[in-house]
A and B are shown apart, each in its own frame.
Chain A
Amino acid sequence: MANDTPPRWDRRMQQRLARGEAAALGELYDRFASLVHSLAHRVLDDDQAADQVTREVFGYIWENPDAYDPRQGNLRSWVARLTQRQAVHRLRQTEATAYAETGVGSAEELEAKVRRASVAARADYIVTSMPAPLRKALELAYFQRRDYRQTAADLSISHEEARRRLRLGLQLLSTAHARPLDGPPGGYGRAL
């Protein structure tokens, strides 16, 4: 999967959106809808809620193309941040409503749930943004339960290289716990 779009594509897209070109909106959707929907689904674990977040995120970008600042990173990571923020906001709302209605749960439980969902979404984003060789190695190890020797054989690379890729991949993945999606921290739970 080709992930990061070239900076020129990002700037051009922003200009086209700003001048109100509907065809650009369609292209933006085609490029990022699966990212947006899968991140939202990862946080909310519900198809309809993920559909709704997808509507909100694209609606926000279409109405505010100038809110994207290319100096802060690429368009893709900005879209991912918006998505996570909106999905977490929605999760809080849903959980708060459920708490008010049933009295089951606690503020701590809600926070723990929000934290888990955020980490999961960040991990997803990291995996999809990772260079393909690292991702491939991790997937083989994880889903097909291959050890590093088998991974090396499957990918026709040396044992040393397989170990290196797995190590790097895991290091990247572990940052999901540590920091928000490549951008300035904070802001989760705020509506778009």
Chain B
Amino acid sequence: MTLLHEDRDLDLDPLLRSRVLENCLGRRPARIPVPAWATPYDAETARLDALLRDIGESEWHAPVRLKWYEDDRPVRRKSTVAGVIGHLLAVDGLVSGALGLADPLGPDVPELTPTERTEALWEALDRPANRSLRAPWRDQSHALVRTVSFAGRGVSDLTVTYGDFALPLKDALLERAFECWLHADDIANAVAYPYDPPSGPHLHGMIDLAARLLPAAVAHRRRAGLAAPPRHLVAAGAPGRSLHLEVEGAGGGHWYVPLDSPAALGSPDHAVAQVAMDGVEFCQLIAGHISPQEAAAGQDGDREAIRDVLSAAASLSRL
């Protein structure tokens, strides 16, 4: 009989985790549950960690090409699997800071943008990034989930400052879940592993966050002269000219993005254009992995509105 055999951890289904946890919580409800808004982050960090467990030492140095949009142009940057984990560790640290947990960059770090924090972490390493970053990254993500579980309801609206913008904690963790997935996908591509998108409900939350950020992104570009001027200003909270974003597939749905002002209400009755897209494709656009020109499968209506919204979507991307 064979006593020794090779690891077969690779076959552990990443979706098994949520099924097992659900089964447990059905048998004995948690007295201190993980808030629903933190579960995408919990699930995505667990999936990435499972991938990291399965890769060999040398694969931590596999080249990863990071892509995003800056000033309407695609930007590329070379890193490695370990470098990407360092990036996630550094930027998740913004959330740690907001919760009063230790900052992975050390005490007394000035307020920095995600990119600046990443550079600072990379520069502080005395050797090229390697697998030793896995434990601090994972410990921090576990600590975040644990802390928000204990923190009570008010914590979800705590402000997390990203240097040049801010999000309430519940959106910040959703944003971190989104980044974790897309960078896990970058890593999986680099080491030739299969990697699935998040579960439908989690993907839906991520798409919804992006859709909620779009009106402000359009307004920001308008102030910079990059988007068309407003056509019909309406009172705050009143329905205004909208783009109908139809996202297909798991996690999809319908969103109405107000075009003329972030204060207006998106409305189907005032839709002047429609864009239909697959959910994962929409996320790739938000992440700056595909261009606004490549993005839309189906477009209908006001071409200017469509261009402005898709360009704003790509502008949400960063390192």
Contact = CB atoms under 8 A, between A and B. Distances in A.
Given A62-B27, A127-B4, A51 B16 contact: yes
Interface string A1-45: 000000000000000000111111111011001100110010000
Most buried by B among A25, A26, A176: A26
A38 B8 CA distance: 7
A44 B56 CA distance: 27
Interface residues of B, number: 38
B7 A38 contact: yes
Contacts of A143: 4, 6
Contact of A22 (B5, B11, B13, B149): B149
A124 B5 contact: yes
A23 B30 CA distance: 9
Interface in B121-142: 138, 142
B49 interface: yes
Contacts of A34: 9, 12, 50, 53
A192 to B, nearest CB: 12
Nearest to B24: A62
A188 B146 CA distance: 35
Interface residues of A, number: 36
A180 to B, nearest CB: 15
Given A20-B31, A51-B16, A173 B3 contact: yes
Contacts of A123: 3-4
Contacts of A62: 24-25, 27-28
Contacts of A20: 28-32
A149 interface: no
A59 B34 contact: no
B122 to A, nearest CB: 25
Q: Which 8 pairs from chain A and chain B are nearest by CB?
A: A20-B31, A22-B30, A123-B3, A62-B24, A23-B146, A21-B32, A34-B9, A22-B34
